[in-house]
Chain A
């Protein structure tokens, strides 16, 4: 309905923009459209999530506008690809880091995902990440590589570490998305096409996981354990998609990691490549725990209930076999 239309409109406006004000306007439209979606159920948690989201995104968009304005003051033009003023570049990276949820500014993201329903969390983590990444891609030649790589490594580390103690599935997915965003931002100054590739694959995998979780309504790890009774085929595909999110070799999630490591070694950043691959092991632990809980364990009372759910199954079976 109207909110989804405005969301698509906002993303289209930012993607097809070569002027800063149109990009900012599109981002504002996106935030405007998603906030009623987050706070649809009049639960205090949802409203709190909406306020946190709104505050962070509003400051980020204001920072972005400020960076564009200093650039316009110093260079006299409002083109996105022509960022000549170095402090405006720094401000822009900080603003987009706040919008995406990279490490010094990641604090809002798990809480906001926790407070929203599963479908809106899906939208938040895939669709809302797309316009800021396009802006990063457009300005990737004039960004600061050291700042970006430090933020990326820290975000991969934090995404792995803080995901270890979580039992709520939405928070786990939030930290997994933080780490994936870190993977994306390592390579953005060297080969921006790889960031696009990682973003597409990451969005595919997370949509499949969110939709499968939505069909069984698993919000906690304990409900994951009993989900095999509802739809056994869904459970096996969930396991495969979780493992591909982790980045295991025969599945598609390994492809972006492999290519990123290859590009980093071409740029002679082998230490960062080893650090990144070591830190993704932390994420691997909780993905493995999720798969273990969902498929390998059996609950004490096994009741085979064959209920009919509205499941989007074809998405889940395609993504592991890609």
Chain B
């Protein structure tokens, strides 16, 4: 049904826009990154279940595996930022302008 498809594409685009136009914290952009990949995961599961092909069932699982990699590295970077910086705001990323 195309309606579900449109809904998931809407989640993808809105979260993408939320990454690009962030409010104040960096953590929010990471959250919306996770949301993007979740929406992609749902699309893949829909496509693989509707086309009853047995080979493409691996795809959502592998996406989940690599997203776990990514989220771990996300969080370690966050920790290192909070160790070196005092705050978590985006205005603090000014060091590399010079």
Contacts and interface: CB of A to CB of B under 8 A. Distances in A.
A32 B70 contact: yes
A90 interface: no
Contact of A28 (B70, B85, B93): B70
A264 B29 CA distance: 41
B51 A51 contact: no
Contact of B47 (A44, A66, A73, A111): A73
Contacts of B84: 42-44, 47
A253 to B, nearest CB: 28
Nearest to B22: A55
Given A28-B66, A51-B81, A69 B37 contact: no
Contact of A115 (B19, B74, B77, B96): B96
A111 B73 contact: no
Contacts of A24: 66
Given A21-B62, A25-B66, A62 B33 contact: yes
B29 A76 contact: no
Interface in B43-80: 43-44, 47, 51, 56, 59, 62-63, 66, 69-70, 73-74, 77, 80
Interface string B21-43: 00000100100010011001001
Question: Interface of chain A, helix or strand or loop or mixed?
Answer: helix
B5 interface: yes
A39 B77 contact: yes
Contacts, number: 84
How many chain B residues sit at the interface, stated as a range, is 20 to 34
A221 interface: no
Given A32-B70, A55-B29, A59-B19, A47 B56 contact: no
A28 B33 contact: no
Contacts of A65: 37, 40, 63
Given A59-B33, A76-B51, 14 more contacts: A21-B59, A25-B66, A44-B84, A47-B84, A49-B96, A51-B93, A54-B73, A58-B33, A58-B70, A59-B36, A62-B36, A62-B37, A72-B44, A115-B96
5 contacts: A21-B63, A45-B95, A54-B77, A69-B43, A69-B44
Interface of A: 21, 24-25, 28, 32, 35, 39, 42-45, 47-52, 54-55, 58-59, 62-63, 65-66, 69, 72-73, 76, 78, 111-112, 114-115
